[in-house]
């Protein structure tokens, strides 16, 4: 029991309102202490305030070797598939559980006596939208659809932060607000689009993340309509005033200096620093201390400006339990009493395997070449640069172990099946291995860290932070390898391990079976072997449109997606559409129903459909519901995803799948009224396997 009368200062009293506590704390702090608290660690040692710093965590805590996040003493952590791979699971519950495991490991590292490292402010998820397949950081987001990304963002936020009504397990700091989907020139570029696209597309995942409980985000490097995001009025006027964001808002790394050096918005760093603080940002990933002191001396920044910006930092620190007695904080016991490292917990390992299996997409399976029958196999040629490696990306942790494709197949098949592994550097050796083997698996794709150095890649198809892709084609050497192997062995499977869509039109036409997965999972090889050998039926679905060629893609810097970006406005026939993915079994759809024939503008309905497994294998189908507006007074997308459900079915089994639809999901942003408006009229409800494979549809009347 905490004695609320036994505190020296009001800020220490958990019974008081948060803002009253913080106001008291600020009144006790010196100006120098306040300057220090604009860093990512708002500590006040003199007053006993020990706060938490930031860590990366897009798909597991990053305290390892990649990106040097673990420094001189890296620590292993559970490592999931890349965020784009987690998206390909189309499984909100799974994303929630993965984030919960990550939040637990962050707490463990921060609190355990053995480690005492890291922080509880986790820079994840990336709520940006992968509107263009050339974006170098595509791997960090969940896909190209705003509703889909927002749904997974919300699931991640809730999982990471936990379900306690007062305290967080960890803090979800979303990035990068806003419209940050080009790398080349990002230091000074401007993402330009109208008010409707702001409200209906680019801001949606961030708003949904805040609605889910996130109270922290990072402002982007770029400008939005000519004003740099780090000083944009939208921070206060929309994120804070409208959505209720009242926690940490931070700059991106070095962004304050870019305001002067690249955006040319200010004559010096002092003016830039003052503008950042006045915009509502309370944490700098920058050398800001001296410019802040100069701004104070010059009178362009006041202590009251600083106090207002610092409030959010301490609100989040209180939510993390840093200013409260440990016995009140339910997460304070994590890492105590000699608790074993959670990344060695079999439950975390099983969760990674589940996520990796569910992320694998079957793109083609001509003649049912897959799954392979392990009992009748004598040999496999496993060739290509991805055959015996698990690539870790820049924001990855270091896993406690990893399983490559070769190791995974060896684990599953045992010593009686010969696996001839060649990395493809000796083309003739790879072709010969394919010729003398029963089946050939060609492992191609990209290296997520490129050439290893900052802003460097090996080939034009590669991208990473600070570098956009210049090509959607596989490297010439990889194209040559798949063609030569296919000539040598018609039973060839292409495994594409990649962060981005590839324009593999020739391969799609000629190679009988194609699988796609993302990088980084510690269980990559085991999951792959499960799918290839039929122990698991692939159920991943694409979260971006895959073009046939670069010619189909709108200009990179055209942020007006109506000109051809994403499945909503794509102007030609893609190679693979948004939501696409095959299965070893077959599913039928029937009995589409809506709980009511009409819906009021503030109402909701339940859409239901029966799904039957009509094939020989058990498996999961991803049921997708899109809407199409009839006779709208404003331009609308061709169709928009508004709901989805994964459903697992045994052979011969039928289940009814329910997908809720709220009228608010049908609203458009009325520019004249400056609010969302639900139009009266007819709306088509489209249900199917992908955005391009609609099987059932009906009409719903929306009334005033």
What pLDDT score was predicted for residue 4?
59
Q: Specify whether 516 is located in the same domain as 422.
A: yes
Q: Specify whether 616 is located in the same domain as 670.
A: yes
**Residue 54: inside a domain:** no
Instruction: Provide the 10 A C-beta neighbour count for residue 325.
Output: 15
What pLDDT score was predicted for residue 701?
97
Give the tens place of pLDDT for each residue, 483-538: 999 999 999 999 999 999 999 999 999 999 999 999 999 999 999 999 999 999 99
**Residue 643: inside a domain:** yes
Give the tens place of pLDDT for each residue, 672-681: 999 999 999 9
**Residue 408: inside a domain:** yes
CB burial class (10 A; 0-12, 13-18, 19+) of residue 17? Answer: exposed
Q: Specify whether 609 is located in the same domain as 514.
A: no
Q: Specify whether 411 is located in the same domain as 452.
A: yes
| 677 Cβ contact list (under 8 Å, min separation 6) | 667, 668, 669, 670
Query: Which tokens in the block code for residue 126?
Result: 């990336």
H or E segment to which residue 273 belongs: helix 269-278
What pLDDT score was predicted for residue 175?
98
Residue listed under structure tokens 């080009």: 182
Q: Specify whether 479 is located in the same domain as 394.
A: yes
Q: Do 560 and 194 touch, CB atoms closer than 8 A?
A: yes
Give the mean model confidence (pLDDT) for residues 456-479.
Answer: 97
**Residue 34: inside a domain:** no
Last residue of a domain, which of 569, 597, 626?
A: 569
**Residue 328: inside a domain:** no
Give the tens place of pLDDT for each residue, 6-23: 899 999 999 999 999 999
Supply φ then ψ for residue 654, to 5 degrees.
-125, 135
Give the tens place of pLDDT for each residue, 369-395: 999 999 999 999 999 999 999 999 999
**Residue 319: inside a domain:** no
**Residue 445: inside a domain:** yes
608: left (phi over 0), alpha (psi -120 to 50) or beta: beta
Number of domains in the chain: 2
What pLDDT score was predicted for residue 451?
81
Q: Specify whether 500 is located in the same domain as 624.
A: no
Strand 439-445 vs strand 379-383: parallel, antiparallel, or unpaired?
A: parallel
Give the tens place of pLDDT for each residue, 215-224: 999 999 999 9
Q: Virtual CA dihedral for 84, 88, 92, 93, nearest 10 degrees?
A: -110
**CA pair distance 686, 589, nearest whole angstrom:** 12
**CA pair distance 182, 218, nearest whole angstrom:** 16
**pLDDT, the chain, mean:** 97
Per-residue CA distances from 624 to 394, 458, 689 (Å): 32, 37, 6
Task: Classify each residue of 501-539 as buried b or exposed e, where b means 16 or more C-beta atoms within 10 Å of its C-beta.
Answer: bbbbeebbebbbbbbbbbbbbbbbbbbbbbbbbeebbbb
Bridge partner list, 599: 702
What pLDDT score was predicted for residue 80?
98
**Residue 632 structural domain:** 587-703
Q: Specify whether 558 is located in the same domain as 609.
A: no
Give the tens place of pLDDT for each residue, 391-408: 999 999 999 999 999 999
**CA pair distance 206, 418, nearest whole angstrom:** 50
3-state DSSP assignment of residue 680:
coil
Bridge partner list, 517: 497
Alpha helix ranges (H) inside 332-422: 346-359, 405-413
CATH of the domain at 504: 3.40.50.1700
What pLDDT score was predicted for residue 96?
99
| 467 Cβ contact list (under 8 Å, min separation 6) | 136, 183, 184, 450, 455, 456, 457
| 454 Cβ contact list (under 8 Å, min separation 6) | 466
Q: Specify whether 476 is located in the same domain as 596.
A: no
pLDDT value at 588 more than 60? yes
**Residue 500: inside a domain:** yes
What pLDDT score was predicted for residue 452?
75
CATH of the domain at 630: 2.60.40.10
Strand 171-172 vs strand 54-56: parallel, antiparallel, or unpaired?
A: unpaired
Last residue of a domain, which of 540, 569, 598?
A: 569
Q: Specify whether 505 is located in the same domain as 381.
A: yes
Give the tens place of pLDDT for each residue, 651-670: 999 999 999 999 999 999 99
Last residue of a domain, which of 534, 569, 604?
A: 569
Give the mean model confidence (pLDDT) for residues 335-358.
Answer: 97
Query: Which tokens in the block code for residue 673?
Result: 């009224």
Give the tens place of pLDDT for each residue, 555-580: 999 999 999 999 999 999 999 999 99
Give the tens place of pLDDT for each residue, 25-70: 999 999 999 999 999 999 999 999 999 999 999 999 999 999 999 9
Q: Specify whether 553 is located in the same domain as 594.
A: no
Q: Specify whether 613 is located in the same domain as 547.
A: no
Give the mean model confidence (pLDDT) for residues 466-490.
Answer: 98
Supply φ then ψ for residue 277, to 5 degrees.
-65, -45
pLDDT band at 2 (very low <50, low <70, confident <90, very high): low
pLDDT band at 3 (very low <50, low <70, confident <90, very high): low
Q: Specify whether 442 is located in the same domain as 547.
A: yes
pLDDT band at 1 (very low <50, low <70, confident <90, very high): low
Q: Do 74 and 65 touch, CB atoms closer than 8 A?
A: yes
């Amino acid at each position: 029991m905490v004695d609320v009368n036994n505190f020296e200062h009001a800020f220490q009293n958990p019974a008081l309102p948060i803002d009253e506590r913080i106001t008291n704390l600020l009144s006790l702090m010196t100006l120098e202490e306040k300057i220090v608290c604009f860093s990512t660690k708002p500590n006040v040692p003199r007053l006993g305030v020990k706060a938490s710093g930031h860590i990366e965590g897009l798909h597991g805590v990053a305290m390892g070797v990649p990106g040097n996040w673990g420094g001189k003493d890296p620590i292993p952590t559970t490592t999931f598939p890349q965020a784009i791979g987690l998206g390909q699971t189309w499984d909100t519950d799974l994303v929630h559980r993965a984030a919960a495991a990550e939040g637990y490991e962050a707490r463990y590292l921060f609190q355990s006596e053995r480690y005492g490292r890291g922080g509880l402010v986790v820079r994840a998820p990336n709520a940006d939208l992968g509107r263009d397949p050339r974006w170098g950081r595509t791997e960090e987001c969940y896909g190209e659809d705003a509703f889909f990304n927002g749904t997974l963002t919300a699931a991640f936020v809730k999982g990471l932060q936990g379900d306690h009504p007062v305290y967080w397990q960890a803090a979800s700091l979303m990035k990068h607000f806003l419209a940050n989907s080009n790398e080349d020139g990002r230091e000074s570029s401007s993402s330009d689009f109208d008010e409707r696209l702001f409200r209906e597309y680019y801001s949606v995942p961030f708003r949904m993340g805040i609605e889910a409980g996130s109270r922290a985000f990072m402002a982007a490097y770029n400008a939005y309509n000519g004003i740099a995001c780090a000083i944009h009025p939208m921070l206060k006027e929309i994120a804070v005033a409208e959505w209720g964001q009242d926690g940490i808002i931070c700059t991106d790394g070095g962004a304050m200096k870019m305001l002067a050096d690249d955006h040319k918005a200010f004559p010096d760093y002092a003016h830039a620093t003052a503008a950042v603080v006045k915009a509502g940002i309370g944490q700098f990933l920058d050398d800001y201390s001296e410019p802040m002191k100069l701004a104070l001396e010059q009178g362009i920044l006041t202590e009251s400006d600083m106090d207002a910006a610092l409030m959010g930092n301490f609100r989040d620190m209180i939510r993390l339990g840093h200013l409260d007695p440990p016995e009140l904080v339910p997460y304070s016991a994590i890492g105590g009493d000699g608790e074993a490292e959670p990344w060695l917990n079999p439950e975390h390992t099983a969760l990674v395997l589940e996520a990796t299996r569910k992320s694998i997409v079957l793109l083609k399976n001509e003649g049912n070449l897959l799954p392979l029958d392990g009992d009748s196999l004598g040999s496999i040629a496993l060739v290509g640069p991805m055959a015996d490696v698990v690539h870790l990306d820049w924001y990855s942790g270091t896993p406690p172990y990893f399983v490559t494709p070769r190791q995974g197949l060896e684990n599953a098949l045992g010593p009686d099946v010969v696996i001839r592994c060649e990395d493809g550097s000796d083309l003739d050796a790879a072709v010969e291995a394919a010729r003398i083997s029963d089946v050939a698996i060609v492992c191609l794709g990209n290296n997520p860290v490129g050439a290893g150095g900052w802003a460097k890649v090996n080939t034009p198809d590669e991208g990473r932070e600070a570098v956009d892709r210049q090509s959607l084609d596989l490297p010439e050497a990889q194209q040559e390898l798949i063609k030569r192997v296919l000539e040598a062995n018609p039973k060839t499977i292409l495994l594409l391990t990649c962060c981005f869509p590839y324009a593999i039109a020739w391969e799609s036409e000629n190679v009988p079976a194609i699988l796609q997965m993302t990088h980084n999972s510690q269980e990559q090889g085991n999951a792959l072997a499960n799918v290839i050998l039929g122990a698991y039926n692939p159920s991943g679905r694409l979260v971006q449109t895959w073009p046939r060629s670069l010619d189909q893609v709108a200009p990179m810097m055209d942020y007006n997606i109506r000109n051809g970006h994403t499945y909503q406005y794509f102007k030609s026939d893609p190679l693979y559409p948004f939501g696409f993915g095959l299965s070893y079994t077959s599913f039928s759809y029937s009995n589409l129903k809506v709980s009511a024939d009409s819906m009021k503008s503030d109402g909701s309905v339940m859409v239901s459909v029966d799904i039957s497994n009509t094939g020989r294998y058990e498996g999961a189908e991803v049921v997708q519901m899109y809407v199409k507006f009839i006779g709208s007074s404003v331009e609308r997308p061709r169709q928009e995803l508004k709901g989805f459900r994964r459903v697992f079915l045994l052979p011969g089994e039928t289940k009814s799948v329910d997908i809720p639809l709220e009228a608010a999901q049908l609203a458009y942003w009325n520019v004249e009224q400056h609010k969302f408006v639900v139009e009266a009229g007819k709306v088509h409800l489209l249900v199917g396997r992908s955005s391009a494979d609609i099987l059932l549809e009906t009409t719903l009347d929306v009334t005033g």
